[in-house]
Amino acid sequence: MRPTPYPFSRWSPADNNKFASAEIYFEGRMLMEIMPQEFSSLLEAYPKDRRYALAVMQDMQRQYNYVPREGLEALAEYISRPVAELFSMATFYKSLSLKPKGVHIIKVCNGAACHIRGAVNLVGGIKRIFGIAPGETTEDGMFSMELVNCMGSCALAPVMTVDGKYYGQVKIESLSAIFEALRNEAKP
């Protein structure tokens, strides 16, 4: 199944028809339930000023691993700006995602050195294993793949990271073992 352009959320409106809680669904599974108090504490850490909008969105990204639509709406109300303006900001900054990401984030370097040494083949290998292209997440929500610029370890090209852990001189044949080890680590 291809990722939907945006996660689906089911709202539970409060009496005044404002957001009371939201269940966030993506790829047919419920990711989390967000309560409005969570947004309140994120918002109230900053003055009601547009200058702090990016900082708030970065906090949401850290907390939820993406910026929920409900979060943008709460922020828009907080700083009295249109949601569309915040949406544009969120799409402009690469560090912000409007889609939930997987539990494990695979970043494949596509800088010059890694590109020459087979980054595209790594992407193809990961696609064969998980059925996802860069920017996509597996249906079980376990893995997301991203294509990134130079990660500063060109001597080890091709390089990828999984949850921040570096893997250098990665061979396509070793990918399955790397990911299998991660799945096993995650088992209770």
Decide: is 67 part of the binding site for ligand FES (CB under 6 A). no
Q: Does the protein bind ligand FES through residue 151 (CB under 6 A)? A: yes
Q: Does 147 bind ligand FES (CB under 6 A)?
A: no
Is residue 116 at the binding interface for ligand FES, with CB under 6 A as the rule? no
Query: In angstroms, rounded to a whole number, what is the distance separating the alpha carbons of residues 137 and 172?
Result: 20
Pick the binder of ligand FES from 100, 102, 111, 125 (CB under 6 A): 111
Q: 90-104: b or e for each residue (b if 16 or more CB lie within 10 Å)?
A: beeeeebbbbbbbeb
When the beta carbons of 5 and 164 are compared against ligand FES, the nearer one is 164
Dihedrals φ, ψ of 64, to 5°?
A: -110, -5
Which of 137, 101, 99, 145 has the alpha carbon at shortest distance from 119? 145
The only residue of 113, 147, 178, 182 in contact with ligand FES, by rule CB under 6 A: 113
| Beta bridge partners of residue 32, listed in sequence order | 24
Rounded to a whole number of angstroms, the minimum distance from the CB of residue 147 to ligand FES is 11
Does 154 sit near ligand FES (CB under 6 A)? yes
Question: Measured from the CB of residue 151, what is the shortest distance to ligand FES in angstroms?
Answer: 4
120 is an interface residue for ligand FES by CB under 6 A: no
What is the torsional sign of CA 76, 77, 80, 84? positive
Q: At 146, give phi and psi (nearest 5°).
A: -130, 145
Residues found near ligand FES in the complex (CB under 6 A): 109, 111-114, 150-154, 157, 159
